[in-house]
């Protein structure tokens, strides 16, 4: 009996630690558990100027809103549909989306609901989450059109969600040079004789596919498609093979970039730590400022056609 009683505090302690870890993400940001808390966090993070600007938006402007980096810290992004974030889990009780039918995915609806909730909060207007979710779940066409406009913008953008997108193979090498440790480079320079570069498929390869938007669409993805390399797995495989050759002093040019699929290993044998905690130098300058100050001084709310010539991000 005494043994059972002694295990109760330990069990409660484990539950408490688990809840606490779910509340704070890897960058140290608080993850809201509902939209009331999301509004409170946005109030803290946005500057008075940003709040005044947001208050003037309409729901149709949301598709053009970017640089609200706190949303990415809450895992509301495109490639985070399987996120275990507690805010995502909460919103998923209201969001019922079939992307094969409607042409859009759950993350767009969740993001829209968060932004709409905050707009109503700033305007002192009521917000009924269940009712708004039902409306959005049934309104796929207009959202899909907005998503397509954002997709077209991403195809030429120099950064997406605060991550710099390389222009081509040489630019990719420069980014990898900055990002990887010397130990990682040696592993790539002298790959395992048995599994070769396949060992990196779920580590570095996965990071490139997700963060450089080889699935979602980016200027790097378009670059590879122009070369006849159309599958994201083949793109990351080609990058791994070309970067390994580059590290070994071989000349790499576009003519040599034939599709190079990497066989999927039975299990990943190389631990690549960059995806778990990306180096800040790989973020755009505004994102790095956000991480340092924990504040968003301003954000973008311009339509895609208002974006001018791409500008090289400071690295």
Helix pair 106-122, 129-138: axis angle to 10 deg = 140
| pLDDT 10s digits, 272-298 | 554 444 555 556 778 888 989 999 999
pLDDT at 246: 92
Q: E strands along 27-121, which residues?
A: none
Q: Are 127 and 121 in contact (CB under 8 A)?
A: yes
Q: E strands along the chain, which residues?
A: 159-160, 163-164
Does the reported pTM lie above 0.85? no
pLDDT at 154: 87
30 phi, psi to nearest 5 deg:
-70, 130
pLDDT at 169: 92
- Give the tokens for residue 64: 């053009």
pLDDT at 173: 94
Residue 119: closest CA among 197, 34, 62: 62
User: What does the domain layout of the chain look like in residue ranges?
Assistant: 28-159+284-306, 165-282
| pLDDT 10s digits, 208-233 | 998 899 988 899 999 999 998 999 98
In the predicted model, residues of the chain with pLDDT beneath 50 are 1-21, 80, 100-103, 263, 265-269, 274-277, 304, 307-315
- Between CA 288 and CA 283 the distance in angstroms is 6
pLDDT at 18: 44
* Mean pLDDT estimate for the chain: 78
SS3 state of residue 160:
strand
């Amino acid at each position: 009996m005494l043994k059972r009683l002694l295990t109760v505090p330990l069990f409660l302690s484990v539950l408490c630690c688990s809840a606490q870890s779910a509340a704070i993400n890897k960058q140290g940001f608080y993850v809201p558990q509902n939209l009331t808390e999301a509004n409170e966090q946005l109030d803290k993070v946005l500057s008075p100027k940003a709040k005044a600007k947001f208050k003037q938006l309409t729901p149709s402007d949301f598709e053009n809103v970017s640089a609200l980096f706190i949303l990415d810290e809450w895992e509301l992004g495109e490639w985070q549909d399987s996120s275990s974030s507690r805010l995502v889990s909460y919103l998923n009780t209201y969001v019922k989306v079939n992307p094969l039918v409607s042409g859009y995915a759950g993350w767009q609806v969740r993001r829209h609901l968060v932004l709409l909730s905050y707009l109503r909060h700033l305007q002192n207007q009521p917000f009924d989450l269940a009712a708004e979710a039902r409306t959005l779940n049934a309104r796929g066409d207009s959202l899909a059109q907005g998503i397509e406009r954002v997709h077209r913008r991403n195809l030429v953008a120099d950064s997406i969600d605060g991550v710099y997108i390389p222009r081509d193979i040489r630019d990719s090498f420069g980014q990898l040079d900055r990002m990887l440790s010397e130990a990682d480079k040696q592993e790539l320079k002298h790959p395992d004789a048995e599994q070769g570069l396949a060992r990196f498929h779920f580590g570095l390869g996965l990071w490139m596919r997700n963060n450089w938007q080889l699935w979602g669409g980016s200027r790097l993805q378009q670059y590879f498609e122009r070369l006849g390399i159309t599958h994201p797995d083949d793109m990351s495989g080609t990058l791994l093979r070309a970067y390994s050759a580059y590290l070994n002093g071989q000349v790499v040019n576009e003519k040599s970039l034939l599709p190079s699929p990497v066989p999927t290993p039975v299990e990943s044998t190389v631990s690549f730590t960059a995806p778990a905690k990306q180096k800040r130098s790989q973020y755009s300058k505004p994102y790095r400022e956000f991480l340092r100050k924990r504040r968003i001084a301003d954000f973008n709310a311009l339509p895609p056609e208002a974006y001018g010539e791409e500008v090289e991000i400071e690295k």
